[in-house]
Amino acid sequence: MSQQLVAFDKIGITFNGRVLLNSIDMSISEGEIVTLIGPNGSGKSTLIRTLLGLQTATSGEVIRHKSLRIGYMPQKLHIDPTLPLTVKHFLALVRGVDKAKIVPTLEKVGIGHLLSSQVHVLSGGETQRVLLARALLNNPNLLVLDEPVQGVDVNGQVELYNLIEGIRNELGCGVLMVSHDLHLVMAKTDTVVCINQHVCCSGSPQHVTGHPAYQALFGVPGADESIAIYAHQHDHVHDEHGDVLSESEDANHKGATSAHANCHHS
Amino acid sequence: MLDLLFRALIGGLGVASVAGPLGAFVVWRRMAYFGDTLAHSALLGVALGFLFDINLNLAIIVLCVGLALVLVTLQKKHIIATDTLLGILAHSALSLGLVAVSFLDNIRIDLMAYLFGDLLAISQTDVYWIYGGGLAVISLLVIFWKPLLAVTVNEELAKVEGYPVEAIRLLLMLLVALVIAVAMKIVGVLLITSLMIIPAATARKLSNTPVQMASIASVLGCLSVCGGLWASYHWDTPTGPSVVVCAAFLFLLAYSLPFKRLG
């Protein structure tokens, strides 16, 4: 069993009488890719910010392993246009950075040629890679990526997810990702945690997508095959209402109440 | 006369070289209005300094820092939008300063000099204050350059990477307060921010890195002081406003001519 890096123990956050998070339990270990999904306003970013120390929990506790070093990649980077800044200078701002590592890290994320570019002229995908490089320069054993593929086209998204997986394989670090695109990210994830103020369901991608709580939030996977690029094993059939039926069972079981109970995932 | 001009030049150059780099931070962090608010409150500092018979520079610094702290506290409470808050504080502080000055019956204060500056009236002591304060500001800027810049670029990233964000933010306010205190004699409370912002904004057009922008802002500020003094000497114009007009002229020049950025 690999080292557990972070555990959330019954994290709850209440803001102005509104419950943002309610008793969240989850953990991330070395070498594990955990994806946090949930609808807008479900508290994904709040949970991440709690882990990063940008927000304090009203109840519960974040248990950090003493070796924990976080590399954080924010959702987007806004740098005031009045501030002239090259990629190189931006990366040199990492606290205690080894400057000799800047160029190799940029090359690792595939943008070595952008070293002297101004940060203001980068495309969406390039900006995400610069941010990833900045996260990596912290020598992290846990990468925290808040919507890492925002503003990137579909091909670019696949490349970025491949890159993240490659980095995980190379460094053996844990990865915690926030995402609301469900299909692309699934193929690269070990554990999916679906939250909506509380943890709705968690487990392997196959398990979660079959879970009724997930389906209530996001619909039934496979209903829109055209964008289901992840390795989806369609081991169940749907009735005319879109409810999931088990393939092994007869069609006259239509109207089964619990889709999950009848759905045998690998 | 020449002696007077020389001292004015030395003092002006001292202020301009410090105001430039700090002005870059004011521009990057969009603190222009914040700087204005602190500057306006400086007049209250002058009045209090006379009332309690303490060193004026010290009174201004203390008042500016105090106001900055009040501002940060109020900002955190989100009672009212920041620009409204700044507007309230800036003009109340200025008015309070003017009212307070009117109570000083036994002392005659040249109000115009404090509002718009009087470079030609600076004393040898003022020059010492300018260079002492300026040296302190520049040293702090150099020592804390990286954290200051990291916090300016992205506060959240800086915080996650372990920079003491709150302390750095306070440091920047302290620096702005210091510069306002020493620059007041030169351009006056109403024009101080312009000496920080205009050269920095002009420098943006010509620079590719933060260090370049800060240094070019210094140079441009010094040019403006020279130009302003020269104009003031030749046409007998008020010195402070002449320096600002000169800075504005350089700004127009930089943005209308096809200058190339430094490599």
- Per-residue confidence (pLDDT) for residue A89, from 0 to 100: 93
Q: Is A4 a residue whose pLDDT tops 70? A: yes
- Per-residue confidence (pLDDT) for residue A263, from 0 to 100: 33
- Per-residue confidence (pLDDT) for residue B242, from 0 to 100: 92
Give the domain range for residue A51: 4-69+140-213
Number of structural domains in chain B: 1
Nearest chain B Cα distance for residue A174, angstroms: 17
Q: Is A218 a residue whose pLDDT tops 70? A: yes
- Per-residue confidence (pLDDT) for residue B173, from 0 to 100: 87
- Per-residue confidence (pLDDT) for residue B244, from 0 to 100: 93
Q: Is B52 a residue whose pLDDT tops 80? A: yes
On whether both A146 and A121 belong to a single domain, the answer is no
* A residues 106..135 contacting B (CB < 8 A): 118, 134
More confident residue, B41 or A263: B41
Is B202 contained in some domain? no
- Per-residue confidence (pLDDT) for residue A265, from 0 to 100: 37
Is A254 contained in some domain? yes
- Per-residue confidence (pLDDT) for residue B83, from 0 to 100: 85
Tens digit of each residue's pLDDT (9 = 90 or more) over B202-235: 999 999 999 999 999 999 999 999 999 999 889 9
Closest residue in chain B to residue A97, using alpha carbons only:
B161
Task: In whole angstroms, give the CA distance from residue A49 to residue A27.
Answer: 15
- Per-residue confidence (pLDDT) for residue B21, from 0 to 100: 94
Q: Is B1 a residue whose pLDDT tops 80? A: no
More confident residue, A88 or A236: A88
Give the domain range for residue B146: 2-190
Best-predicted range by mean pLDDT (A207-221, A233-247, B214-228, B246-260): B214-228
Closest residue in chain A to residue B262, using alpha carbons only:
A84
Report yes or no: B39 and B190 within 8 Å, Cβ to Cβ. yes
On whether both A155 and A44 belong to a single domain, the answer is yes
Q: Is B139 a residue whose pLDDT tops 90? A: yes
Is A152 contained in some domain? yes
Interface test with chain B among A48, A55, A56, A83, by most B beta carbons within 10 Å: A83
Report yes or no: B28 and A82 within 8 Å, Cβ to Cβ. yes
On whether both A47 and A144 belong to a single domain, the answer is yes
- Per-residue confidence (pLDDT) for residue A243, from 0 to 100: 58
Please state, in angstroms and as integers, the Cα–Cα distance from residue B36 to each residue in A28, B71, B130, B155, B185, following that order.
Answer: 48, 13, 20, 23, 16
On whether both A53 and A11 belong to a single domain, the answer is yes
On whether both A209 and A154 belong to a single domain, the answer is yes
CB-based contact A84 B152, cutoff 8 Å: no
Q: Is A198 a residue whose pLDDT tops 90? A: no
On whether both A121 and A250 belong to a single domain, the answer is no
- Per-residue confidence (pLDDT) for residue B108, from 0 to 100: 73
Q: Is A249 a residue whose pLDDT tops 60? A: no
Is B241 contained in some domain? no
Is B73 contained in some domain? yes
Crossing angle for the helix pair B165-187 and B124-143, to the nearest 10 degrees:
160
- Per-residue confidence (pLDDT) for residue A232, from 0 to 100: 42
Is A75 contained in some domain? no
Q: Is A248 a residue whose pLDDT tops 50? A: no
Is A53 contained in some domain? yes
CB-based contact A54 B207, cutoff 8 Å: no
- Per-residue confidence (pLDDT) for residue A247, from 0 to 100: 45
Strand order in the sheet with A191-196: A70-73, A142-146, A174-179, A33-37, A191-196, A198-203
Q: Regarding beta strands A191-196 and A33-37, do their DSSP bridges make them parallel or antiparallel, or are they unpaired?
A: parallel
Q: Is A256 a residue whose pLDDT tops 60? A: no
Tens digit of each residue's pLDDT (9 = 90 or more) over B80-115: 888 888 888 888 988 998 888 888 777 777 788 888
Strand order in the sheet with A4-15: A18-29, A4-15, A59-64
What is the pLDDT confidence band of residue A2, given thresholds at 50, 70 and 90?
confident
CB-based contact B28 A83, cutoff 8 Å: yes
On whether both A98 and A127 belong to a single domain, the answer is yes
Q: Which residues pair with A202 in a beta bridge?
A: A193
On whether both A146 and A201 belong to a single domain, the answer is yes
**B163 touches A: beta carbon within 8 Å:** yes
- Per-residue confidence (pLDDT) for residue A262, from 0 to 100: 35
On whether both A57 and A144 belong to a single domain, the answer is yes
Best-predicted range by mean pLDDT (A57-61, A150-154, B119-123): A57-61
Tell me what percent of the residues of chain A surpass a pLDDT of 70.
Answer: 81
**A227 touches B: beta carbon within 8 Å:** no
Is A37 contained in some domain? yes
Measured between beta carbons, the chain A residues lying within 8 angstroms of B153 are 79, 83, 85, 90, 93
Mean pLDDT of A127-140: 93
Is A240 contained in some domain? yes
On whether both A154 and A171 belong to a single domain, the answer is yes
Nearest chain B Cα distance for residue A73, angstroms: 8
Is B26 contained in some domain? yes
DSSP letters of B51-102? HHT--HHHHHHHHHHHHHHHHHHHHHHTSS-HHHHHHHHHHHHHHHHHHHHH
Can you give the CATH number for the domain in which B152 is found?
1.10.3470.10
CB-based contact B207 A84, cutoff 8 Å: yes
More confident residue, A152 or A131: A131
Backbone Cα Rg of chain A: 20
Q: Which residues pair with A196 in a beta bridge?
A: A198
On whether both A176 and A55 belong to a single domain, the answer is yes
Is A145 contained in some domain? yes
**B208 touches A: beta carbon within 8 Å:** yes
- Per-residue confidence (pLDDT) for residue A154, from 0 to 100: 82
- Per-residue confidence (pLDDT) for residue B129, from 0 to 100: 87
Is A74 contained in some domain? no
- Per-residue confidence (pLDDT) for residue A252, from 0 to 100: 42
Number of structural domains in chain A: 3
Rounded to a whole number of angstroms, the distance between the first and last alpha carbons of chain A is: 22
On whether both A148 and A57 belong to a single domain, the answer is yes
CB neighbours of B73 closer than 8 A, spacing ≥ 6?
A: none
Tell me what percent of the residues of chain B surpass a pLDDT of 70.
Answer: 97
Q: Which residues pair with A37 in a beta bridge?
A: A179, A194
Instruction: Flag the least confident range among A181-195, A212-226, B27-41, B213-227.
Output: A212-226
**A183 touches B: beta carbon within 8 Å:** no
Report yes or no: B173 and B204 within 8 Å, Cβ to Cβ. no
